[in-house]
């Protein structure tokens, strides 16, 4: 089923005063429903790989990132999620980051950090639940509605 047929199907419940406005409103509702469905079911998965350079302390996560759904691997080795009850400092006494082979990762906002930071470059990979992106062209794009 295409977006146009979904919009037409949902439009039957709206008054037919302003069809263009109702189409825009319905499309927005459907796109929000799609995002909510993907967020709660975590059914839309993507693979992510990134080459970490030595001493990279923070990795920006993809814009569509919701949650990690697989193991995180660095150079083929499993990296465990950092548990808050563990007492491991990311910094040394001289305020520089500890470096070595990453053993833990932590998600802070839109970034992933590593404990310790990598002393050698290597490939980091994991699978994550993603927020779907809506493909619209300029003819079907909607503007923000005030409702």
Task: Tell me what pLDDT residue 57 has.
Answer: 82
pLDDT, block means (10 residues), the chain with 147 residues = 65 66 75 79 88 87 91 92 72 74 89 89 92 61 48
Task: Tell me what pLDDT residue 1 has.
Answer: 55
Q: Is 119 helix (H, G, I), strand (E, B) or coil?
A: coil
Task: Tell me what pLDDT residue 96 has.
Answer: 75
The pTM of the full predicted model, rounded to 2 decimals, is 0.68
Phi, psi (5° rounding) for residue 60?
Answer: -70, 130
What is the chain's length?
A: 147
Task: Tell me what pLDDT residue 43 has.
Answer: 80
**How far is the C-alpha of 71 from the C-alpha of 53, rounded, in Å?**
20
Task: Tell me what pLDDT residue 139 has.
Answer: 52
Give 17-30 as a 3 state SS string: CCHHHHHHHHHHHH
The maximal CA–CA distance of the chain, rounded, in angstroms, is 69
How is 51-75 classified by DSSP, letter by letter?
EEPTT--EEEPPTTEEEE-S-EEET
Describe the chain by its helix, strand, coil percentages, rounded to 5. Answer: 20, 35, 45
The token pair at 59 is 């990795």
Task: Tell me what pLDDT residue 127 has.
Answer: 94
Task: Tell me what pLDDT residue 72 has.
Answer: 94
């Amino acid at each position: 089923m295409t977006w146009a047929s979904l919009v037409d199907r949902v439009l039957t419940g709206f008054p037919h005063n302003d069809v263009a406005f109702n189409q825009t409103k319905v499309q927005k509702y459907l796109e929000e429903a799609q995002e909510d469905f993907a967020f709660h079911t975590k059914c839309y998965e993507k693979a992510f790989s990134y080459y970490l350079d030595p001493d990279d302390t923070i990795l920006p996560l993809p814009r569509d990132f919701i949650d990690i759904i697989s193991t995180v691997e660095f150079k083929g080795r499993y990296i465990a999620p950092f548990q808050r009850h563990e007492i491991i400092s990311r910094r040394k006494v001289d305020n520089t980051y500890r470096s070595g082979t990453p053993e833990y990762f932590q998600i802070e906002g839109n970034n992933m950090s590593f404990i310790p930071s990598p002393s050698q470059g290597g490939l980091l990979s994991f699978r994550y639940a993603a927020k779907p992106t809506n493909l619209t062209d300029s003819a079907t794009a909607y503007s923000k509605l005030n409702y």
